[in-house]
Amino acid sequence: MSDTATTPNNVELDRAREDLVIALLLAGKSVGQISKQTLISRTTLWRLRKSSEFQARFREARQQAFEGAVNALHDSALVFVRTLREVCRDPKARDSAKATAARSGLDSLWNAAKLFDFDERLRKLEEQSSGGQK
């Protein structure tokens, strides 16, 4: 693969500048802000964003960022559970804080159970659709 990305409209940027544009988009920067920071014209950025190759790379980067965030939350799950438990058990905590902590814990447990169930069903469907082949 080349170090230069080409869109259908002959917009060419080196891979590093394109990666920077993707990172800035993921950080929530506007096209105007990205244009000022990277010295790439707004028109070039607009054309670049219309490129199917760029869109695929952006989706992949966004998915990786999301997975990283989920992994960070997963790594902290025990801390969250312990904190909720401490608040619920703390005799000095306000009743409203205990109720909020309990509700948050139950909501998280319910959502996790739904996700596990969904994941299990999705895996079964994928196995069935592929004829049991992986």
Q: pLDDT of 104-130, one tens digit each? A: 877 877 887 788 788 888 888 988 888
- Give the percent of the chain with pLDDT over 90: 37
Residue 82: its pLDDT value, please? 84
CA atoms of 84 and 22, how far apart (whole Å) = 37
Residue 9: its pLDDT value, please? 43
Whether 81 shows a pLDDT value over 50: the answer reads yes
**Quick one: average pLDDT of 51-79?**
87
Whether 3 shows a pLDDT value over 70: the answer reads no
**Largest Cα span, the chain:** 67
Residue 23 pLDDT class (50, 70, 90 cuts): very high
**Quick one: average pLDDT of 85-96?**
87
CA atoms of 109 and 103, how far apart (whole Å) = 10
The predicted-structure confidence for 36-58, as pLDDT tens digits, reads as follows: 999 999 999 999 999 999 999 99
CA atoms of 31 and 37, how far apart (whole Å) = 10
Backbone angles phi, psi at 49, to 5 degrees: -65, -20
Residue 133: its pLDDT value, please? 63
Query: What pTM did the predictor assign?
Result: 0.58
Residue 28: its pLDDT value, please? 95
